[in-house]
């Protein structure tokens, strides 16, 4: 017999709220673990001014550690947003959606609403769950469940990523926010590999 999702038992709302809080804490902890630890100012080594190349290499290394490099889209370009959804299914993660749209066609608010809608759709929520997930936290009526876990990270240079997840579904959007820093090493390698006019 299937449970009646339209009228959950009384204990269910308290359980759902504690579960959402736990998921938010786990997501925060996971995000903090990916961030590089700040060095203590008392133990921080002072770079040798006589070797600027060593200082630059150390700074470059620290900057590289701030980027997650998780599932980078090879087709991402400035001026567009990349939307992806992955779903956890029986021990493996499957990509179930991948689409690019022009950045000027979607606002930040619409982007967030689209991520929430993609999560609820790909998680297979019933209609009641989709409606209740958009309720506010005021008293009266049904509880706000399911909830979303969200956070922001930087997958690579010049790109911001916004995550939304719930249950086994996770959606994110990638946006190029600093075109001057975006994939400069790749473009330099391509330019270095091209034959010059003098070689012809």
Give Cα 153 distance to the centre of its chain. 6
Q: Is residue 47 part of a domain?
A: no
* Range scoring the smallest mean pLDDT among 32-36, 122-126, 163-167: 32-36
| Per-residue pLDDT at 108 exceeds 80 | yes
Q: Contact, 127 vs 140, CB < 8 A?
A: no
Q: Is residue 87 part of a domain?
A: yes
Q: Is residue 164 part of a domain?
A: yes
Sequence-separated (6 or more) residues with CB below 8 Å from residue 156: 67, 69, 72, 182, 183
| Per-residue pLDDT at 195 exceeds 90 | no
Write the CA distances from 69 to 12, 56, 88, 99, 153, integer angstroms: 38, 21, 20, 19, 10
* Range scoring the smallest mean pLDDT among 93-97, 124-128, 161-165, 191-195: 191-195
| Each residue's pLDDT tens digit, 53-100 | 556 565 555 556 678 888 899 999 999 999 999 998 888 888 999 999
Domain count, the chain: 1
Question: What pLDDT sits at residue 46?
Answer: 40
Q: Contact, 93 vs 87, CB < 8 A?
A: yes
Q: Is residue 2 part of a domain?
A: no
Query: Where in the sequence is the domain holding 131, given as residue range(s)?
Result: 10-35+52-199
Q: Is residue 45 part of a domain?
A: no
What's the whole-model pTM score? Answer: 0.60
Q: What is the mean pLDDT of residues 130-141?
A: 87
| Each residue's pLDDT tens digit, 165-183 | 988 899 999 999 999 888 8
Q: Is residue 183 part of a domain?
A: yes
Distance CA 125, CA 146 (A): 9
Q: Contact, 23 vs 149, CB < 8 A?
A: yes
Question: What pLDDT sits at residue 29?
Answer: 54
- pLDDT classification of 159: cutoffs 50, 70, 90: very high
Task: Supply φ then ψ for residue 86, to 5 degrees.
Answer: -125, 150
Q: Is residue 133 part of a domain?
A: yes
Q: Is residue 42 part of a domain?
A: no
């Amino acid at each position: 017999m299937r449970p009646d999702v339209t009228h959950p038992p009384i204990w269910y709302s308290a359980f759902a709220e504690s579960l959402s809080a736990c998921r938010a804490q786990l997501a925060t902890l996971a995000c903090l673990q990916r961030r590089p630890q700040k060095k203590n100012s008392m133990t921080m080594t002072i770079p040798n001014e006589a070797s600027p190349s060593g200082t630059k290499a150390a700074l470059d290394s620290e900057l590289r550690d701030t980027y997650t490099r998780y599932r980078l889209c090879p087709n991402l370009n400035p001026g567009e947003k990349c939307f992806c959804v992955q779903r956890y299914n029986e021990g493996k993660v499957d990509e179930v959606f991948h689409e690019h749209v022009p950045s000027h066609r979607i606002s930040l608010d619409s982007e967030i609403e689209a991520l929430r809608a993609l999560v609820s759709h790909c998680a297979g929520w019933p209609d009641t769950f989709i409606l209740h997930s958009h309720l506010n936290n005021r008293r009266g009526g049904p509880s706000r469940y399911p909830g979303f876990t969200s956070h922001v990270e930087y997958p690579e240079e010049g790109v911001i990523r916004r995550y939304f997840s719930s249950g086994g579904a996770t959606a994110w959007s990638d946006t190029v926010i600093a075109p001057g820093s975006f994939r400069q090493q790749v473009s330099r390698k391509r330019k270095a590999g091209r034959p010059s006019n003098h070689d012809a």
